[in-house]
Chain A
């Protein structure tokens, strides 16, 4: 006899979105650097900013309120509108 059970999951399928094409050059592009608010993340990102500027990129800095929670949607939207690419940086 076939037994029926009820699906315990959310029954949601994640939307699949294609990645944006890779930037051909950093020259004149605006790169967002997102600090996740872990200790010494700034050390890494400061260095990254210097290297990006050397290669002609414009850099904008952002920061999550806390590393333990996903970035607020307003912050994600802000980065998406203002930047051509983003680097989300870990730390410790």
Chain B
């Protein structure tokens, strides 16, 4: 719990922060004694109150001054005017000390320069504890005590906070570390989360990201994902409530994918990559815990799908013959972005014999026709994930993304007579009134292409959507902000 919310003000004059454990501090102790004789000097010591001898240093063994004034090295010498720092230097460098103090001839007999030592306040062993002590008050969430004899993992299950898998306990220390992954303030409201229409602050999202197993550098992606799904266009309320087996599918674009180690290659939709697995999971935990969206309650899915634990992957942009998915939704070139799509589990499209784009497009078309039902059209979007061994065929023949989409649109014009109720001996279908018409399988913009997967395997995959567009859910892109 927060110990002190007061930021100590530095006294005017010269301020030095030292520790006895540091040989350079011991070296400059005589210099500090000389300075004290000719200027107003306040010395803070991080370890021993008797050091430096003869200077009656201020006690900073609690490290409050060092922490709040971001001391990274000792000795640090600071000039303070009217309570405001105007200059600092670290370690011992005669020229720098003389310039800062305006006093010449300092440290006669000492070497010109000695590097300092690490400040105790940045010691990795205690830095996280100091963050809790000095920053903990910034966390507004209720503290829940887990009793000594309670098993931590079981305690979190018992409170209904998990998706059925164990979660990482969201301690103050871990949540503060997570918050370091973004520049956004903990109390900023990122979105209003259905179904409870509860505000999700950066802090609440960080708590759920900790639980999901995220690293701090993933947090900006999670924040953008929460923003994307909590829009009227994406309609996470409906996506959650539907009886259909869909959930949010997140596609990440931009340099951040490589920076945080996301997978866009082998086993791209599968297990084994921490960023892919935990970012998607964090979003679903936010929907559950902040939004109150739980299976069997507002979530009425008939079957659901395993991707509802979390479904997130990166596009393979380097290997792609085409522009990234996010740019189809207006992302700036090279921008980090997440695109949320409402989808079911992926289904494999096998074509190991096509060597020309027309043949391969026809393979896609006959498979896409079957999405949810071969007799239902214009109702569902689809995310078509093209594998590298398939995309090579389009690259080598110069088919652009627009070329392939245009050809698929042509191939997916379906006579109404095949779609009406009763056609093919199947009751499911469209009203008799469309019998004379020709209808496309997808609404304009309802078929999305993304490039991903391992380098071996003449496969692609289709991820079926849900009630499309204004009726249900439209894909939503959000750029990722630091």
- Do A and B assemble together? yes
The listed residue (B156, B232, B290, B467) touching A10 by CB distance below 8 A is B290
| Contact for A68 among B203, B285, B473, CB less than 8 A | B473
- Residues of B near A5 (CB, < 8 A) are 143-144, 146, 156, 169-171
Chain B interface (Cβ within 8 Å of chain A)?
1, 139, 141-148, 152, 156, 161, 169-172, 175, 193, 195-196, 198-200, 203-204, 207-208, 211, 232, 235, 237-238, 241-242, 285, 289-292, 467, 470-473
Contact B471 A6 (CB under 8 A): no
Chain A residues near B471 (CB, 8 Å)?
66, 68
21 A-B residue contacts at CB 8 Å? Answer: A2-B147, A3-B145, A4-B143, A5-B144, A6-B139, A6-B142, A6-B144, A7-B142, A7-B143, A7-B144, A7-B207, A8-B141, A10-B196, A10-B199, A10-B200, A10-B289, A11-B141, A14-B196, A68-B241, A68-B472, A69-B235
Chain A-chain B contacts (Cβ-Cβ < 8 Å), number:
89
- Is there contact, CB below 8 Å, between A6 and B143? yes
CB distance from A17 to the nearest CB of B (A): 15
Given the complex of chains A and B, what is the CA–CA distance between A12 and B192 in angstroms? 13
Chain B residue nearest to A1 in the complex (CB)? B148
Bound together, the chains give a CA A56 to CA B242 distance in angstroms of 36
A11 to B143, CA, bound (A): 11
Residues of chain B lying within 8 A (CB to CB) of residue A70:
195, 237
- Chain B proximity of A42: nearest CB distance (Å): 13
Chain B neighbourhood of A10, CB < 8 A: 193, 196, 198-200, 204, 289-292
Excluding A5-B156, A8-B161, 20 further A-B contacts by CB distance (< 8 Å) are A2-B145, A3-B169, A3-B171, A4-B1, A4-B172, A5-B144, A8-B141, A8-B207, A8-B208, A8-B289, A9-B161, A10-B193, A10-B200, A10-B204, A10-B290, A11-B141, A12-B196, A68-B471, A68-B472, A70-B195
Q: Mark A54-67, 1 if CB is under 8 A from B, else 0.
A: 00000000000010
Most buried by B among A2, A4, A8, A10: A8
Contacting residues of chain A (1-40) with chain B, CB-CB under 8 angstroms: 1-12, 14
**A69→B232 CA distance, assembly (Å):** 9
A9 to B196 Cα, complex, angstroms: 11
Contact flag A66-B147 (CB < 8 Å), given A8-B289, A10-B292, A11-B142: no
Which of A2, A4, A6, A9 has the largest count of B CB atoms less than 10 A from its CB?
A: A6
Least CB distance, B179 to chain A, in whole angstroms: 11
* Residues of chain A having any CB pair with chain B under 8 Å: 1-12, 14, 66, 68-70
By a CB distance below 8 angstroms, the chain B residues around A66 are: 238, 467, 470-472
A7 → chain B closest CB, angstroms: 4
- B177 to chain A minimum Cβ distance, whole angstroms, is 12
Interface centre among A5, A14, A66, A70 (most CB of B within 10 A): A5
Q: Find the A residue at minimum CB distance from B147.
A: A2
Interchain residue pairs A-B with the least CB separation, the first 10: A68-B238, A10-B198, A7-B142, A6-B141, A8-B289, A68-B472, A8-B207, A4-B143, A3-B146, A6-B170
Chain B, residue nearest A14 (CB)? B196
Q: Which residues of A contact B193 (CB under 8 A)?
A: 10
CB distance from A12 to the nearest CB of B (A): 6
Residues in B with CB closer than 8 Å to A4 are 1, 143-146, 171-172
List A contacts of B146 (CB < 8 A): 2-5
Residues of B within 8 A of A6 (CB): 139, 141-144, 170-172, 175, 203, 207
Q: What are the residues of chain B within 8 A of A68 when measuring CB–CB?
A: 235, 237-238, 241-242, 467, 471-473
B145 touches A69 (CB 8 A): no
Cα A11 to Cα B144 with chains together (Å): 12
Check A69 against B238 for contact (C-beta < 8 Å). yes
Q: How far is the CB of B69 from chain A (nearest CB, A)?
A: 27
How far does the alpha carbon of A68 sit from the alpha carbon of B194 in the complex, in Å? 13
Contact partners of B171 in chain A: CB under 8 A:
3-6
In the complex, the chain A residue whose C-beta lies closest to that of B208 is A8
CA distance A68 to B342 in the complex (A): 13
Residue of A nearest to B203 (CB): A6
Contacts known (A7-B142, A9-B290, A68-B472); A2 close to B208, Cβ less than 8 A: no
Q: Please tell me which one of the listed residues B139, B242, B289, B467 contacts residue A9 in the complex, with CB atoms under 8 A apart.
A: B289
Which residues of chain B come closer than 8 Å to A14, judged between CB atoms? 196
Interchain CA distance A68-B470 in the complex, whole Å: 10
B167 and chain A: residue at smallest CB distance = A8
Question: Given the complex, which residues of B lie within 8 Å of A7, measured CB to CB?
Answer: 141-144, 207
Chain A neighbourhood of B211, CB < 8 A: 8
Query: Complex formed: what's the CA distance from A3 to B175 in Å?
Result: 14
Which residues of B are found within 8 Å of A69, using beta-carbon distances?
A: 232, 235, 237-238
- Expressed in whole angstroms, the minimum distance between the Cβ of B77 and any Cβ of chain A is 38
Minimum CB–CB distance from B161 to chain A (whole Å) comes to 5
Give the residues in chain A near B200, CB-CB below 8 Å: 10
B235: A residues at CB distance < 8 A: 68-69
Cα distance, A1 to B211, chains bound together (Å): 21
Q: How far is the CA of A40 from the CA of B203 in the complex (A)?
A: 45
Task: Identify the closest chain A residue to B169 (Cβ).
Answer: A5
Residues of A within 8 A of B175 (CB): 6
